[in-house]
Amino acid sequence: MATLNLTNPTHFNPMKQFKGDISTMGFAQKASRRRLKGGISCSFSFAPMESAKIKVIGVGGGGNNAVNRMIGSGLHGVEFYAINTDSQALLQSSAENPLQIGELLTRGLGTGGNPLLGEQAAEESKEAIATALKGSDLVFITAGMGGGTGSGAAPVVAQIAKEAGYLTVGVVTYPFSFEGRKRSLQAGWLEPFVILSLTSKVSLALEAIDKLQKNVDTLIVIPNDRLLDIADDQTPLQDAFLLADDVLRQGVQGISDIITIPGLVNVDFADVRAVMKDSGTAMLGVGVSSSKNRAEEAAEQATLAPLIGSSIESATGVVYNITGGKDITLQEVNRVSQVVTSLADPSANIIFGAVVDDRYTGEIHVTIIATGFSQSFQKMLLTDPKAAKLVEKIASTQENKGLPLPLKTPTPFPVPSWSPTRKLFFS
């Protein structure tokens, strides 16, 4: 914001005296004080622009690990917090703001995988959590669903953030389907009387996701089972989990870079908030390429979202960020944008930013957050990807025939509602 001081303001017309935008920092540096025609002395003082305050909160062991990876990768422009009931685990955290919760309840020994204890621990430490979040504009909550602290405490942290008015985004992982057996669970959030045979950790994760969904503006879920599709037979187990952590990191970084780094195309926090506020289920896509056709390849990777299992075609809002080195060209930015806009719904609210970062010379990184998906469709992707693909085929066939899509089908799995002009796409 600029303040204009004139020693003799009579007959001063800034439109005649200046050409260009006097609000730019370049002008302020070159002409913080200059003499105009008629002996008028003009000085400018610029109030420092406040950037949006972004906080990343890792909850539980999985969330703490994701935060450590973000810090190790050099993610900047955000504040990191690690929340846990396990005091020993917090000693391993790289976050500058560790917060132990539920000290009276768990005595620093963790929850033993019990989400109820995780929830109670967060409730016990509500005041400390609220203090940690104070002053935020955007809060990312990252956690591994299915554990005790992550599943139990993350929804409480989200509730505190959202009730305080902060834009609240959950970015969480969903466990492998083979992680332990348990009795069948009646999945009330799908359809009445639908009984699914689920694993213990999976059932806990589904319940946690349901609670978290109600307390965030946007929820992004990364299913670990998708790692089986993109990792080869020789990929070490540790590297596979690091891959999931890195997707979380790139999603957070893509959004934070749009907001905090001055770019070729600037996007402010209000733009991002407009797309992500109360948008429900979202999909995250990340693409990286250094090939000759790097722009198209990075864009296609991101729009197909291999770690999600769907693409952006039925999204109602899209935020995407293009990052490259000094060698990135205008034509490459345009080609990325063409890929994204060609796949997105014509009525979708699309916002993008383009950033030059010397660390990415020779590469183009594209991060996409697509919002507004049906919650039931996301849960179908998690519990029964084959059923979700069948729904897509039915939708595509009927759309091609010009028939309206049904709200429900006689199949035993839930079918979300779509506009007749939309279809789903799978890689």
Each residue's pLDDT tens digit, 361-370: 999 999 888 8
Of the candidates 136, 295, 293, which has an alpha carbon nearest to the alpha carbon of residue 217? Answer: 136
Side chain identity at residue 366, one-letter code: V
Is the pLDDT confidence value at 314 over 70?
yes
Is the pLDDT confidence value at 181 over 60?
no
User: What's the confidence (pLDDT) of residue 380?
Assistant: 62
Name residues whose C-beta falls within 8 Å of residue 163's C-beta, 6 or more positions apart in sequence: none
Q: What mean pLDDT is predicted for residues 282-311?
A: 82
User: What's the confidence (pLDDT) of residue 140?
Assistant: 96
User: What's the confidence (pLDDT) of residue 176?
Assistant: 76
Is the pLDDT confidence value at 128 over 70?
yes
pTM of the model: 0.72
The mean-pLDDT minimum among 58-62, 72-76, 170-174, 397-401 falls in: 397-401
Residue of 130 and 408 predicted with greater confidence: 130
What fold, for 54-216? Rossmann fold (3.40.50)
User: What's the confidence (pLDDT) of residue 385?
Assistant: 54
Q: Edge-to-edge strand order for the sheet containing 79-84?
A: 97-100, 79-84, 54-59, 138-144, 167-174, 218-223, 280-289, 364-373, 317-324, 349-356
The mean-pLDDT minimum among 73-77, 154-158, 174-178 falls in: 174-178
Burial of 307 (0-12, 13-18, 19+ CB in 10 A): buried
Is the pLDDT confidence value at 336 over 80?
yes
The mean-pLDDT minimum among 64-73, 133-142, 163-172 falls in: 64-73
Residue 162, CB-side half-sphere exposure with 13 Å CA sphere: 22
The two three-digit tokens of residue 424, written as one number? 């789903």
Which residue ranges make up each domain of the chain? 2-46, 54-216
CB crowding 174-189: b at 16 or more within 10 Å, else e: bbbeeeeeeeebebee
Residue of 275 and 159 predicted with greater confidence: 159
Averaged pLDDT score across all residues of the chain: 75
User: What's the confidence (pLDDT) of residue 421?
Assistant: 38
- Locus of tokens 């005649």: 16
> What CA–CA distance (Å, rounded) separates 279 from 374?
10
Is the pLDDT confidence value at 270 over 70?
yes
Is the pLDDT confidence value at 152 over 60?
yes
Backbone angles phi, psi at 43, to 5 degrees: -130, 150
User: What's the confidence (pLDDT) of residue 313?
Assistant: 76
> What CA–CA distance (Å, rounded) separates 346 from 294?
25
User: What's the confidence (pLDDT) of residue 357?
Assistant: 86
Of the candidates 425, 295, 316, which has an alpha carbon nearest to the alpha carbon of residue 366? Answer: 295
Name residues whose C-beta falls within 8 Å of residue 234's C-beta, 6 or more positions apart in sequence: none
